[in-house]
Amino acid sequence: MIPVEAQGKLRKAAQPEWMTPMLATLTEDRFSDPDWLFERKLDGVRCLIFRRKNRVRLFSRNHHDLNGHYPELVEALDAQPGDDFIADGEIVAFDGNNTSFAKLQRRLQVSDPEAARRTGVRVFLYLFDVPHLDGHDLTALELRHRKSVLRRMLTFRDPLRFTTHRIGAGVDYWQQACGRGWEGVIAKRADSPYVHGRSPDWLKFKCVNEQEFVIGGYTDPKGSRVGFGALLIGYYDNGELRYAGKVGTGYDDHTLEQLGDRLARSERTEPAFAHGKLPRAGVHWVEPELVAQVGFTEWTRDGQLRHPRFRGLRDDKSPRDVVRERAR
């Protein structure tokens, strides 16, 4: 299964209990290069799969157990013949032809397997890497070889899908992605090893501006609105929470009520924000414990978001790890 030319980079190793996933770096450059692979950027939840003998474990990128959220994925992986591997992928739900983080929210909010099934939200696992297999560490292998191993390692049928890629034509693929309403494209150096953390060997070509922010407060609702008016959000900069603005759109009534109740239970007297011109009227400060996915058009000169829109909550990233994404 391992290509002959790659076998010299194999290292014998027992399967670890955990490994930090490889992460992509944001860039404003768009390029085509025959030494790079280009994959569709999926709007979902990162997932590391640990299969050891008769046990399958799904984890988010910050080591949260996902088995209860996606029981059908556990069953599909359990039916695979391999009994010692770690695979890397993304869990998604679809709205039409596009992946939808908003739709996936219904699965993220429940951890009981039967309740997860009752949501009726169909999920898929797109797999794109394999850092460990059959008692060997594959992280030193080139990406092209790891993907070749992955393609032959598993039987891909729904809900398991192999993440296809294009070679070289990065600009064309990114333009097609944006035209189809996708999130963007991930560019990966074909000869890159798998490293544990963010790397310039994997790059994000985004079609839209979007990232995670920490929720540090909320405003009172007005008129007939329920729950809250807007979220007050920020990001960490040198260990301090910096205010990035208010997010008042993107919510349905169910989210307003449920998230409003949750925020009300975590109120504090003083803001956690250390920087930024903060609103004062009708404001409630909360412990900086929740992370929101927010889309926006651009950053203003004074570090605020223009036209922000709430996309959903994330529990796969710790608040302290939320920083402003800057293109390399």
**Amino acid at position 277, single letter:** K
Please give the Cα distance from 23 to 35 (Å, whole number).
19
Cis peptide bond prior to 159, omega within 30° of 0: yes
Indicate the SS3 state at residue 152: helix
Clarify whether 41 is annotated catalytic: yes
Quick check: 76 and 89 in contact, CB under 8 A?
A: no
Pick from 203, 113, 127, 130: nearest CA to 161: 127
CA atoms within 13 A on the CB side of 187: 25
Please give the Cα distance from 56 to 53 (Å, whole number).
8
Please give the Cα distance from 129 to 63 (Å, whole number).
18
Dig out the tokens for 1 from the structure.
Answer: 């299964």
Dig out the tokens for 93 from the structure.
Answer: 């739900």
Catalytic residue among 9, 12, 41, 147: 41
Residues acting as catalytic residues? 41
